[in-house]
Amino acid sequence: MVDGRTPVTASPMRTAIARRMVQSKQQVPHFYVTSEIEIDALAAAAERHNEGRTKAERVTLTAYLIRAVATTLARHPEFNAAWNGDTLERWDAVNVGVAIAVDDGLIAPALLDCANRDVDDLAMGLADLSARTRAGRLKAPEMTDGTFTLSNLGMFEVSQFTAIVTPPQVAILATGRGYERPVVHDGQVVIRRVMQATISADHRAVDGAGAARFLGTLKDLVEAPGGWAPGAE
C-alpha cells in the first residue's frame, strides 16, 4: 500500500483495451451526433413476436436493433467501412460488432453477415456469441472482421452515453435505455417511450451531415417497423 492506495496489476485484457482506446482517442478525430428515437412500436412488435415463447426463446430488443442497424448500414455504406492510412475501404458484408461485458473488460465481437439474417436468426446468433465470448471461445473472424459496432446499455439505468470508435472501423453507435417522456404529436402532448442513440464517428471518413442522415434512417426504421420487424403491425 502506498499513500493509502493499493496497487493492482491490470490484466492483459485490461491493458490491451487501455492501449487501444488511448490509440483511438489520440489518432481518430471523433465527433458525436445524437438522435431521440421513439421505440413504442418496436417494443410492441417484440412483445407480440415473443408471445408464448419461453425466456430462452425470447427475442431481445438488441436483436431488433442489430437488424435495424444492418439495414441502415446497407443504405449508408460509407459507415460500413474501414479507414486505413489515407484510404477509405467499404466492406461488402455487414458484420455488426456487439459490445459484451466480460470479467476483465469489454469485448465487441462481430455477428457476421447481418444484412442477410432475420431477427430470429440474429437473436440466436447473439445468444451464442455472448456465451462463447464469456467462455473465451470466439472464432478469429468474429474478432477481426467487424465493420461497425453497436454498444447497447439499454438493460441498465443509462439514458445516454458516447462510445469510442474501434479502429479501423469508422463509427460506433451507443444506445441507452428506453424511458417515458412527453412529446408533441399533431399539436397534442402524449407520452412516448424514447431512446437516445449517439453515433461516434471518424471525421476523416465521414461528416456530420452523413451521420445525421444515418440516424434519420435508423429512426425511421425503428419508429415504423412494419415490413421488416416480426410482430410489427
CB 97 within 8 A of CB 112: no
Give φ, ψ of 169 to 5 degrees: -60, 155
140: Cβ contacts below 8 Å, ≥ 6 apart: none
CA distance 202 to 32: 9
Catalytic residue check, 76 = no
Indicate which residue of 30, 49, 76, 203 is catalytic. Answer: 203
Q: How long, in residues, is the chain?
A: 233
Burial grade of 140 (CB within 10 A; 0-12, 13-18, 19 or more): exposed
- The cell numbers describing 9, all together, are 496489476
Which residues are annotated as catalytic?
Answer: 203
